[in-house]
Amino acid sequence: MRRPYWIAVGTVAALFVVDRLTRSLALARPSRDLIGSVLRSEPTTNVGVAFGIPVPGPAMFAVLAVLILAVGAFGWTAFRKQQRLAWWASVLVFTGATSNLLDRLHYGYVRDFLHLAFWPTTANLGDWMITVGAILLLVSSLRPPPRET
């Protein structure tokens, strides 16, 4: 049985809204501990890409947009084929990347605020969605394809 499309659209929308709201709320407040000294809210800006690597220029936005659309198309295909792990993975990557791209287009940088004591950089929920989604995509690619019934 096929799942209704509103589940896919609603999931992306909900994750997107949570990511955007947490960025705005965190950056409106000063740095503070969230979970002891393990997780802190440390608002900062990131003009680079992952781990602060410098952005190569305006052409990067076009490349990012194409990659985001490709992940979205892959996710939609996985959704229609009911490949749940691949679908969730692509939803996470698509949503996180779209939110980060929106920051870049609107502010010229990405708004980061989550700092883990054992992690070298500060990130946001979108960054973690991309990271977890990429790991899930790798895992789903290593699994055998589902049997046709």
Structure tokens at 39: 């997780």
Residues with a known catalytic role: 112, 127
Element spanning 67, H or E: helix 59-80
Burial class (CB in 10 A: 0-12, 13-18, 19+), 93: buried
Nearest-angstrom CA–CA distance, 93 and 147 = 26
Nearest-angstrom CA–CA distance, 33 and 67 = 35
Nearest-angstrom CA–CA distance, 101 and 66 = 11
